Amino acid sequence: MKLHLFEDNLSDGQRVAFGETIARAIYVTAGEVTVDGKVHAYDEGFVANGPVTLVAGVEGASIWRWDLSDTPPQTPPQNSARKLSGEIPAHLAGDGSFLRLDSVSFPPSGTAMLHTHQGPGIRCLREGGIRIDTDGMSTSFGPGGAWFEAGPLPVFAQADHTIQSRFIRAMVLPDALRGKSSIHYENEEDRAKPKSQTYRNFGEIGLSL
C-alpha cells in the first residue's frame, strides 16, 4: 500500500471525479471546491473514502490530494501531477488505522526537536521555508516542496529564521492516536521544553479496505 500526493488545478466550474481509494485527504490551496453540496474554501481541508466528485468555484481551484491505495494511481487527464509517493508498512495497512490531514505551523526560527512519529506521512510546505535533518542528510524545502517521513526514523526540523512557515501533511496512524499527537521526542530533556509548533486538524478517517 502506498500514499500518493497529487497537485490538481481546476478551471472555473470544472467538475472532476476521483475514483475508488482506501482513504483520501484534500487540501484547497486556491479558490474553492464544492463536494456533495458543501463548499470547501481556500486553506480548508477534508478527508473521505471512496469516490469523490469536486466542482470548482467561479475562479477555479487548486488542490493537494493524498490518495491511499494498494493499486497504481490513476492520474486524471486534466491538469494534475503526482508530486510524491511513499510506502505504508503492513501493520498500518488495514483495519485499526486511520488517515489524518493536518497542518503544522512554526514561527520564525521555530524548530521541531529531534522526534519520531508512530506512522508515515507525506508533508508539503505551504509557506515559508524549512530544513529537514534525518538519516544523516539535511534537505531544505520551499513552498510546494514535498517530503516523506517513514515515522520511526528520527527527524529534526528547522523553520525559516525570518518568516512564519507551515506545512500540510497526511499521515497513516494507529487508531489509538485518534485526536492525539503522534510525536515522540527522542531526548528526554526536550519533552518538557516549550514547543514552537502549533497544529490544526482538518479531519481523520478510518481505512476502508
Q: How far apart are CA 129 and CA 99, in angstroms?
A: 25
Q: How many CB atoms neighbour CB 86 within 10 A? A: 17
Q: Are residues 123 and 183 in the same domain?
A: yes
Supply the pTM of this predicted model: 0.95
**Residue 91 falls within a domain, yes or no?**
no
Contact 122, 144 (CB under 8 A): no
pLDDT at 71: 82
Residues in CB range of 161: below 8 A, 6 or more apart: 108, 109
Q: Which one of 51, 86, 121 terminates a domain?
A: 86
pLDDT for 88-140, tens place per residue? 999 998 889 999 999 999 999 999 999 999 999 999 999 999 999 999 999 99
- The rounded Cα 136 to chain-centroid distance in angstroms is 24
Pairing of strands 111-117, 97-106: unpaired
For the chain, percent of residues with pLDDT exceeding 70 = 98
Instruction: Look at residues 83, 142, 154, 145 and name the one whose alpha carbon lies nearest to residue 117.
Output: 154
Distance CA(181)–CA(164), nearest Å, equals: 22
What span, in angstroms and rounded, lies between the C-alpha atoms of 88 and 80?
23
Does residue 175 form part of some domain?
Answer: yes
| Residue type for position 50 | G
- Whether residue 202 sits in one domain with residue 127: yes
Check residue 208 and give its pLDDT: 75
| 34 alpha-carbon distance from chain centroid | 20
195 and 102 both lie in a single domain = yes
Query: Closest Cα partner for 1 from 18, 23, 19, 17?
Result: 23
pLDDT at 74 over 80: no
- Same domain? For 7 and 57 the reply is yes
Which letter does DSSP use for residue 152 in this model? S
What separation, in Å, do the N-terminal and C-terminal C-alpha atoms of the chain show? 11
Q: Tell me, yes or no, whether 165 and 187 share the same domain.
A: yes
What is the C-alpha separation between 72 and 194, in angstroms, rounded? 42
| CATH at residue 129 | 2.60.120.10
Say whether pLDDT at 75 is over 90. no
Final residue in a domain of this structure, among 86, 119, 148: 86
In the structure grid, which three cell numbers stand for residue 136, read together? 544523516
User: Taking residues 167-189, what's their average pLDDT?
Assistant: 96
Q: Supply the range of the domain harboring residue 158.
A: 97-206
For residues 62 and 120, membership in a common domain is answered with no
Q: Could you give the number of structural domains in the chain?
A: 2
